[in-house]
Amino acid sequence: MSKKLNNNELKAIGFYEDELIDHAGRLAKSLIKSKSFEKEEILEKYRALLSNPDAFLTDEFFATIAELTKELQPIESAEKQKANTFELKKEIPEYKIYGIENIGKEAINQMNNAMRLPVAVAGALMPDAHLGYGLPIGGVLATTSNVVIPYAVGVDIACRMCLSIFEMDKHYLESKSKMLKTYLGENTLFGIDGKFPKPMPDEVFDKPEWEATKIIKDLKHRAQTQIGTSGTGNHFVEWGIIEISTESTALKLPIGSYLALLSHSGSRGFGANIANYYSKLALERTKLPKEARNLAWLDLATEAGQEYWIAMNLAGDYSAANHHQIHQKMAKSLGIKPLVCVENHHNFAWEGTLADGTPVIIHRKGATPAGKGDLGIIPASMTQAGFVVRGKGDFSSLYSASHGAGRLMSRSQAQKNITKQDIKKALSENGVTLIGGDIDEAPMVYKDINKVLESQSDLVEILAKFSPKIVRMSEPDPRGRRED
């Protein structure tokens, strides 16, 4: 386990205001460096502080954080807390787990807790599943149609895949690799604070939803400055070769190999701030037992629930616009339009129905929509092939499939066990050029995509295989922040 305390860990125990997270993180770093406290001791102190900040107002180390907590995250009255307290179901309802042999117990325990929610109706766990916050990554949860769970959508709302296929073949990539690498440098930008000096205008900002709420209006300028950019962590833009081995009416392309551009990122700072704000509201309004507290929901009949629904859908439109700008710039540099584009969200909530027609809200946190005929993209790692798939519409998965290969090891384990030389060797053996990236996104931290696909053969049909060749990712963030 890392000795450092990162922002995601602070959010996981209940800090949501950016200012408070920043102060709590800096204090933790100072206390660990001075050897006043170990990381786990600080986490325990912070948990106690969140429950009762008054008890820490005179504390030698934590008084400032306690004061900020009272100011920014006031605790509700006992009466109000009691009025909004819910118990979990005693029994775990049945749900389908795909590829259970390759999924950690922690992720399964998280999904079990989600299924015990009083609002849970059905669920499924995808074969790329691993530990997350609230709902595991790879978790699919259907709730009653009157609620939405912000943390079952995730912090990076509408994280998305987008693929453009061009008429050039693999020989073009081999002969023009230096030029294509240059295009990646010119047309993409990564990092939490990343923004182009002169961002392209976009019609997405003409949508009336930008005036719907104060928080959306306040975040519009940031969204405008970050349009066309990508985040950190596992976000990427890459050139590669896509192979179509069978005739497909879905892709409408002849059998052959083509140059392709694949991107993965989400709704940037706009989506992250929306997620944090409404996750905090949900935690305040829906009290659950400790093991399920991050699965707090918002009632869609309330103003807060409607605000989140509007903001989430707007984040989806904004995420799509980010990808479209990247792909438009690349196509312009190539001087040719793509033959086909395929794209899909994988952190989102949709209105749906059960097999009997019962209306529900389907949350897919790190899961690809796989309804009958749905086209989607399941990537793997920078040295493994990804796939274009078509959904078979299997209800047992709630019409879903995996969103990738899934992690074999955590970020902290990767930093401890993998070296830059290991990555360099893997890239060389697979003929891949990497720009940026960090150790915790090394190829070997991901599961075997072929085993993952075998586990969900009932859910999707493979249409094409994409092999990455020139990959761009974010450089390591100097403050250890992430946006994936």
Predicted local confidence at residue 127, as pLDDT: 97
Contacts (Cβ under 8 Å, ≥6 apart) of 30 = none
| Residue 100 CA to its chain's centroid (Å) | 22
Tokens of 64: 């400032």
238 pLDDT more than 70: yes
Residue 1 vs residue 57, higher pLDDT: 57
Q: Check: CB of residue 164 under 8 Å from CB of residue 337.
A: no
What is the C-alpha separation between 78 and 159, in angstroms, rounded? Answer: 37
Query: 3-class SS at 458?
Result: coil
- pLDDT tens figures, 108-118: 999 999 999 99
Orientation angle between helical segments 18-33 and 63-72, nearest 10 degrees? 170
pLDDT at 2: 54
What count of other Cβ atoms lies within 10 Å of the Cβ of residue 303? 10
Cα three-residue angle 27-479-294, rounded to 5 degrees: 70
Instruction: Tokens 């980010």: give the residue.
Output: 322
Ramachandran region, residue 356 (left: φ > 0; alpha: ψ -120 to 50; beta: rest): alpha
CB contact at 8 A, 28 and 479: no
Question: Do residues 470 and 431 touch, judged by C-beta distance below 8 A?
Answer: no
pLDDT digits (tens, 9 = 90+) for 441-451: 999 999 999 99
> What architecture does CATH give domain 160-269+289-344+368-473?
Alpha-Beta Complex (3.90)
Reported as type and span, the H/E element at residue 147 is strand 147-148
Question: What are the distances in angstroms from CA 396 to CA 41, 134, 291, 308, 370?
Answer: 42, 22, 26, 28, 11
What tens digit of pLDDT does each residue of 191-217 get? 888 889 999 999 999 999 999 999 999
Angstrom distances, CA of residue 220 to CA of 206, 210, 224, 312, 423: 11, 7, 6, 14, 38
Q: What's the pTM?
A: 0.83
Asked if 377 contacts 387 with a C-beta cutoff of 8 angstroms, the reply is yes
Cβ-proximal residues to 160 (8 Å cutoff; 6+ apart), any chain:
264, 265, 266, 316, 319, 320, 323, 343, 344, 345, 346
pLDDT band at 126 (very low <50, low <70, confident <90, very high): very high
* Residue 424 structure tokens: 């360099």
Which region among 81-85, 127-131, 163-167, 280-284 has the lowest average model confidence (pLDDT)?
81-85
Domain with CATH 3.90.1860.10 in the chain: 160-269+289-344+368-473
**Rounded mean pLDDT, 239-245:** 95
280 vs 17: CA distance, rounded Å: 8
* pLDDT of 272 above 70: yes
pLDDT at 101: 94
